[in-house]
Amino acid sequence: MKKLLFITTVLLALLPQVACGNGNDEPVTPQQPEQPESPSGSDANEDTPGTPTPGGNSRYLVVYASRSGNTERVAKEICTQLNGDLLEVEPETSYDDDYNAMLDRAQEELAAIRQGNYPPIKTSVEDFDKYDMIFVGYPIWYSSMATPMQTFLHNHASKLAGKTLALFATSGSSGISTSVNEARALCPEAEFTQTLLLTSSSLPQMESRVASWLEQLNVNIDNNPEDMNTNTLKLTVGSKTFTATLADNSSVEALKERLAQNPLTISMTDYGDMEKVGALGFSLPRNDTSITTGPGDLILYQGSSLVIYYDTNSWNFTRLGKVDGVTTRAQMLDLLGGTGEIEVTLSL
Ligand SMILES: Cc1cc2nc3c(=O)[nH]c(=O)nc-3n(C[C@H](O)[C@H](O)[C@H](O)COP(=O)(O)O)c2cc1C
């Protein structure tokens, strides 16, 4: 569990429910807003926001804004399927209950945003370090992203740099494209995946639409908690599989969270006649200290590269573990198939 502080509202709710639809952009025709779908039943606002709660141990954060509950239902469905952490973005001034008043206010706020004035929100997040992917959900207002979420992205743009954002939206019938362009402009350094839009006609299929979207995003639905308890890492190089004993630090915890989803294959090349190094493709928290390595040491370099040592080196970096039963360069090189480029697959 790591360093995310939800300064205002964090809900770690795992409520299954309705259904989602697929994120193909629909043509965007600016149009009059439609009456929002009412959330079915009386459960739309059954969670009580307001109590700051530390983030869970998921790799996925689902952050959403929702006035009348539709987007919230989708957000909760994503959370349920992914075992994600849930966070509601709330406007500082509560939404208007009166629909017409809300329409007027939305138009005013959208006009203000165009002038660079973002309506204040209650919600902020200290950092997103622990998350591989952040799901960002909002209603479509006048073909645009609802204003509280625009403010949230605006306020957190620098913290979201380099992060992968998966946008999802609900609407009466409007498309999502305009809001995707808004999100890209608000967070120019974030990566964006395929999106999900649920309109009032596709909302009833929410569950299956969310499931197929998550499948397309290649995010694994099973955050297998049992895998998280292991202290052993399996490394496969060619036909050889060997094990390493993992260190006890937040870098390893984050790596295990990643590997609990899917094995990870890394291309590694030799460096300095002492190590093989390869990019993880994502960043892990760093716990750098001055270390003198030996054969078999698994090291995290600069938060984003895996190094397997077959000889000694001294540097400031993070220990991830140690290959079992290896004490010499020859033993380690034998497991790695000698020098030269390799692919190593890590799994729990
Ligand atoms: C201020 C406002 C503007 C809206 N504008 C549109 C719109 O342009 N196109 C559309 O299809 N639906 C529009 N809607 C309908 C909502 O997008 C839709 O009901 C959505 O599912 C509401 O999500 P929520 O329940 O999470 O608030 C608007 C609703 C409101 C309140």
Collapse the DSSP code of 30 into the 3-class scheme (helix H, G, I; strand E, B; otherwise coil) and give the result: coil
71 lines ligand 1 (CB under 6 A): yes
Q: What is the 171 CA–ligand 1 centroid distance (Å)?
A: 5
The residue whose CA is least distant from atom 19 of ligand 1 is: 36
147 lines ligand 1 (CB under 6 A): no
Q: What is the pLDDT of residue 261?
A: 79
- Helix %, strand %, coil % of the chain (to 5): 25, 30, 50
142 lines ligand 1 (CB under 6 A): yes
CB 66 within 8 A of CB 139: yes
User: Can you tell me which atom of ligand 1 is nearest the CA of 72?
Assistant: 26
156 lines ligand 1 (CB under 6 A): no
User: Can you tell me which atom of ligand 1 is nearest the CA of 99?
Assistant: 31
**Half-sphere exposure at residue 136, Cβ-oriented, CA atoms within 13 angstroms:** 37
69 lines ligand 1 (CB under 6 A): yes
The residue whose CA is least distant from atom 20 of ligand 1 is: 171
14 lines ligand 1 (CB under 6 A): no
106 lines ligand 1 (CB under 6 A): yes
Q: What is the pLDDT of residue 6?
A: 40
| Rounded Cα–Cα distance for residues 199 and 182 (Å) | 19
Q: What is the pLDDT tens value at each position of the chain, 348 positions in all?
A: 333 334 443 333 322 222 232 333 333 333 444 444 333 333 333 333 332 233 455 689 999 999 999 999 999 999 988 888 999 999 999 999 999 999 999 999 999 999 999 999 999 999 998 888 999 999 999 999 999 999 999 999 999 999 999 999 999 999 999 999 999 999 999 999 999 999 999 999 999 999 989 988 877 655 555 566 779 999 999 989 999 999 999 999 999 988 987 889 999 999 999 999 999 999 999 999 999 999 999 999 999 999 999 999 999 999 999 999 988 999 999 999 999 999 999 998
Spell out where 125-194 has E strands: 133-141, 144-145, 164-171, 191-192
| Rounded Cα–Cα distance for residues 340 and 220 (Å) | 32
Mutate to test the pocket of ligand 1, among 86, 142, 197, 198 (most ligand atoms within 8 A of CB): 142
| Amino acid letter, residue 200 | S
Query: Domains of the chain, with CATH numbers?
Result: 60-216 (3.40.50.360), 225-347 (2.40.100.20)
Q: What is the pLDDT of residue 45?
A: 33
* Torsion angles phi and psi, residue 78, rounded to 5: -60, -45
| Rounded Cα–Cα distance for residues 208 and 27 (Å) | 23
Residue 314, class by beta-carbon neighbours within 10 Å (0-12 exposed, 13-18 middle, 19+ buried)?
Answer: exposed
| Rounded Cα–Cα distance for residues 303 and 300 (Å) | 6
Q: What is the 210 CA–ligand 1 centroid distance (Å)?
A: 19
Q: What is the 179 CA–ligand 1 centroid distance (Å)?
A: 13
Q: How far lies 73's CA from each of 13, 50, 203, 333, in Å? A: 11, 18, 10, 52
Q: What is the 164 CA–ligand 1 centroid distance (Å)?
A: 25
Mutate to test the pocket of ligand 1, among 141, 149, 199, 201 (most ligand atoms within 8 A of CB): 141
337 lines ligand 1 (CB under 6 A): no
User: Can you tell me which atom of ligand 1 is nearest the CA of 144?
Assistant: 8
